[in-house]
Structure 1
């Protein structure tokens, strides 16, 4: 039942109250396997599962398992390259709790020979292989690979992997289809242009069918995920103008990776917030690529990210101009209709604003739409939980559990919801 505060949302919000914080179409997808702590989002108890890769209703169905085309029956055998970073550790945590995935190989050149539990003690109870150098990895008993290496190194490594492997890459090395644009934003030429031609962008809600037929899936960036999920459907439906899209985004510190960096020391970031990558963040061309595809014409955005003194989590606040005759409520209803069947994209209603704490450690993207005080404009707020890795300070890469879902669609040729 919606709270009285939600039901009494100001009329200018333009969003009709519905039953439940996520609206009347929402079904609790959280019952079943490995329930963990409950978080209160308005009046709804949101549960974060130990493995947040997918919904228990579909993930553990016999039909999905029977359809898995793997060498070991209904289990996909996984290699994690770059397992000693934050991204690798989060993937291992998810996979280790998942009955349909088995970790066979984990690489970490600097920590080769060590037990994973000595690197990440919170995973010491898991039965995992020892870390090995990439050059010593044996892929003969592996079906699929997560590549968690820094950008610029991944292209040549993936180029050398056996062709039978399904691959999900986190490095950002295959996100931009235009290799010239890649060179412009990443500072060096693309080292595997032939692989770029076959890479599929791995945001499952928008590209699920393409992922099913892919060998190489490039996982989306975290900022682009939180931005494209609300904006792409609105652009496609021509509900918002393509000009003057302004995005103010904020992210936690773990996105900068595990390496020691002066700029990320507690004394440098505590009690502070600051913008970075102003006009030059590498997620800009990725976001514009997705919006341009949706609009079928060039879209340019104004995007500024900010670093927050928190471990993880991301909020993107988007300011958009409404198309002629369109209201903020029209945006809300279209997003509600678009994601009605999606397990992991949820809309709040009324005046409820998404918080990063609502999605911490989970696979959810929670959003809401608000009518701006300026006539003809709307504000969209979207939050995701992100923990990512990169060799460079402040370069955010991916919401990890989105990548898990890409691999599930890729390997099981089924829905990930």
Structure 2
């Protein structure tokens, strides 16, 4: 049984890690670390954890981590992990960062989009991008993982097969993303206030979302050519869930049925990607509280476009579940361990 530390223990990502790791056969939560609330019990903040996490949260002591745990999950805001990870570079710890600190290979890109000083280039070069379905072999050899963002997870899984098979043009790709309120984190703001979000759909960060360069970097990697996307995000009045609807211009004749066969073949060895039959599209409720990504596809002959919808739970496949999936791959365990559960419905 490997011992786990979670740094950033009071956020939604950390709470999902705790919930999912309760089901895991090979990992056990040993330490929950919080900078702002160490000494407090998690149950005092999240009463649903009563009787599950008894020990109070700890203060970070970097020099003791290696002797106390085997795996560290960073469920921290952007700008935290990049300062801690270099201090663990000579350790045997497996580190999985759920923030965006290591996702971009260029420090300049990170500083432009995140507005913070970037991680050292050496650390960026060491980190492996943890989209399990696309980079499994690299993840198996890694000691530092950069867990993908929620929107990029949906967008990359939806678009990668069409680009790799040269079915759509690398130019003119549009992505319409919608996410629940939990995607904004636990800290309340005016935009996440109930009276602002209830019965309302709000576009936000249009042309400025920090996930844009992440999507472009890894789509470009898969397509073997530079790709720019038009990406629009919307906050919708639900707690959790995320769906991207994507549009690409066809460069060769195809049908919905042919494309579905291509996608089914592409993901046939990936247990968490489910391809819908022709004419059926996913909804966020279909993947609620699960690690699945459900994909629906339509070839629109009239406009010569492909339309792809990919739904995930932003806190599971878009964060904590994918982090555990990566840990499974890193340790040679079954990829589905602790994660293969039926989504919560309704």
TM bucket by the smaller chain?
Answer: over 0.9
1:268 Cα offset (Å): 1.0
Does residue 148 of structure 2 align to residue 255 of structure 1? no
Q: Equivalent residue of 2:191, what SS?
A: helix
The CA distance in 1 between the partners of 2:118 and 2:54, in whole Å, is 34
The structure number with the bigger radius of gyration is 1
Equivalent position of 2:341 in the other structure: none
- Residue matched to 2:343: none
- The CA deviation at 1:373 is 5.6
* Equivalent position of 2:24 in the other structure: 98
Q: TM-score by structure 1 length?
A: 0.77
Number of the residue aligned with 1:243: 171
Alignment of 1:338-357 (within 5 A): 338-357=266-285
For 1:401, the equivalent position in structure 2 comes to 321
SS at match of 1:160: helix
Deviation (angstroms), 1:138: 3.3
Please say if 1:150 is aligned against 2:77: yes
Whether the aligned pair in 2 keeps the contact of 1:107 and 1:137 (CA below 8 Å) is no
Give the superposition deviation at 1:331. 2.1
- Superposed, 1:153-168 pairs within 5 Å as 153-161=80-88, 163-168=91-96
**In the alignment, which residue of structure 1 is the partner of 2:35?**
109
Work out which of the residue numbers 68, 73, 76 in structure 1 matches 2:2.
Answer: 76
Find the aligned partners of 2:101 and 2:15 in 1 and give their Cα distance.
20
Give a deviation string over 1:244-263, Cα, whole Å, max 9, x none: 11111100000111112122
The runs of at least 4 consecutive aligned structure 1 residues that moved more than 4 Å come to none
Distance in structure 2 (CA, Å) of the matches to 1:409 and 1:350? 32
Contact 2:246 2:308 in 1 (8 A): yes
Which secondary structure does the structure 2 equivalent of 1:255 belong to?
helix
Q: Show structure 2 runs of 5+ residues with no match.
A: 337-346
Cα distance in 2 for residues equivalent to 1:191 and 1:318: 31
Could you report, residue by residue, the CA deviation over 1:32-68 in whole angstroms, capped at 9, with x for unpaired residues?
Answer: xxxxxxxxxxxxxxxxxxxxxxxxxxxxxxxxxxxxx
User: How far apart are residue 278 of structure 1 and its match?
Assistant: 0.4
| Mapped partners of 1:305, 1:130: distance in 2 | 37
1:246-325 equivalent positions in 2, closer than 5 A = 246-325=174-253
Shift of 1:157: 1.1
Residue 340 (structure 2) aligns with:
none
Q: Is the 1:230–1:335 Cα contact (8 Å) retained in structure 2?
A: no
d(CA) in 2 for partners of 1:330, 1:288: 26
Deviation at 1:350, TM superposition (A): 2.4
Distance 1:207 1:292, change over 3 A: same
What TM-score do the two structures reach when normalised by structure 2? 0.92
1:327 deviation in Å?
A: 2.8
Q: 2: CA distance between counterparts of 1:366 and 1:152?
A: 31
- Alpha carbons 2:13, 2:319 under 8 Å: kept: no
Pairs within 5 Å for 1:1-20: none
Quote the residue 1:133 is aligned against. Answer: 59
**Cross-structure match for 2:127:** 199
Contact 1:82 1:147 in 2 (8 A): yes
The CA RMSD over aligned residues, in Å, is 1.7
Q: Would the aligned equivalents of 2:154 and 2:243 in 1 still touch at CA under 8 Å?
A: yes
**Per-residue CA distance 1:332-363 (angstroms, 9 max, x = gap):** 21111111122110011122120000000000
Distance 1:194 1:401 in 2: 27
Distance 1:375 1:261 in 2: 40
In structure 1, runs of 5+ residues without a counterpart are: 1-74, 389-396
Does 2:284 align with 1:365? no
CA distance in 1, matches of 2:106, 2:261: 34
Displacement of 1:137? 7.9
Quote the Cα distance in structure 1 between the aligned partners of 2:159 and 2:18.
31
Structure-1 separation of matches of 2:147 and 2:241: 17
